[in-house]
Structure 1
Amino acid sequence: MASNKAHHATGWAAGIIAAALVSAAHGPASEGAGMIPAVLALLAGVAGATAPDWLEVAWWTRARRLWITHRTLTHWGLGWAALLALSWHELGRHPAAPVAFGFACGGLMHLLADWPNPLGVPWVGPRHSLNLWTSGHCDLIVVGAAWVAALFVVDDVWFHHACSRMLLNVLRPAA
């Protein structure tokens, strides 16, 4: 399991990914109203990145214990992927779709951050683990990977590969 700080940091990356994709689905960002769904997706992505853990807590009781075993239903990858696909399909059709899409992006980012841990994540059936490191270790790798993914998505969606082309020109040897 990634640390709480890592889930928050990857949540911002997931929110930015969601905002970029939602803004692309809603048309040009130059229209003022088109920014609102993107901002909502961004904030929902941040919230969704910690959701698989806080959805397990029985907030309605004084003890605040888990009402469901950790890394079971709330960490089920198929459910988060279904929410992502359904909300993507509903973008532009339903006003809550950008929020659901951002939330699902954050939830999937949470699962990706937990996957390298020996406890694993139940993507479809039983838990599966990459068994790369134990809890709290290598958070920098997880956070860095999330932000690299966000950079690629933003570069593609908002900058139409301008950053990638500029980087390639810098790295290309002079002829």
Structure 2
Amino acid sequence: MSPRKLRAIFLRMLLRRWPPVFFRVVHRRETSMASSNAHHATGWAAGAISAALAARYGYRGHFHVWIWLAFAAGLAGATAPDWLEVAWWSRKRRLWITHRTATHWGVGWIAMLFFSWHAMGHHPAAAVAFGFACGGVMHLLADWPNPLGVPWILGRHSLNLWNSGHCDLIVVAASWAGAWFVVSRVWVQGGGPLGLLKHLF
């Protein structure tokens, strides 16, 4: 049998077996994580919460720098559990740990949220840490309903409500409802959520 025929047989066998495996892997990844757009949208909500708290504690600084930093930290924290898994120091940028393990550990994120909240009255940097932690917790809450779940304490736990990307609007709406509630409660008396824009601009 000629090398050309052997090559043709090999390619035919490869094409028969490889696509199902590929699609299974892609489907598993798609159904195991919330969409990137949802995480970014919840990050804006986390940023609004932390910016409002920073202003409430009087951490404004020149050009409201602490408010902006707290807001930016909320945005960064909302995607942090995923980008902290990437080996940025390598050329291939592969994951250095398994997805949804250490960087998605609920105890760590909640502890950071708790301690930064209690330190808020002592140093403006605590507002930035709180924003980052708030974004991280929102990320975990967005991942929780889909099949892969989140390791809140030890093993992963999933609510098994929907696959990724199917109900992003619910996740985003819930995060923004929470942001609206918090901002309206902690902002300047009578200011409400729209007071945030007045103080920033």
- TM-score category (smaller protein): 0.7 to 0.9
CA distance in 2, matches of 1:14, 1:135: 21
* 1:80-137 deviations in Å (ceiling 9; x for gaps): 0111112122224344322211100000010010010110001111111111001111
Asked if 1:131 corresponds to 2:160, the answer is: yes
Which has the greater radius of gyration? 2
* 1:13-42 deviations in Å (ceiling 9; x for gaps): 011011112222x23x7x655933222111
Structure 1 residue corresponding to 2:48, chosen from 16, 20, 35: 16
Asked if 1:140 corresponds to 2:169, the answer is: yes
Equivalent residue for 2:36? Answer: 4
Equivalent residue for 2:199? Answer: none
* 1:35-86 deviations in Å (ceiling 9; x for gaps): 3322211110000000000000000001111000000000001000111112
Runs of 5+ in structure 1 lacking a partner? Answer: 165-175
CA distance in 2, matches of 1:159, 1:58: 43
Structure 1 residue corresponding to 2:126, chosen from 86, 97, 106: 97
Contact 1:15 1:43 in 2 (8 A): yes
Q: What TM-score comes out, normalization by structure 2 length?
A: 0.74
Contact 1:117 1:135 in 2 (8 A): yes
Q: What TM-score comes out, normalization by structure 1 length?
A: 0.84
Larger helix proportion of the pair: 2
Q: CA RMSD in A?
A: 2.1
> What is the aligned-residue identity percentage?
69
CA distance in 2, matches of 1:4, 1:38: 25
Equivalent residue for 1:112? Answer: 141
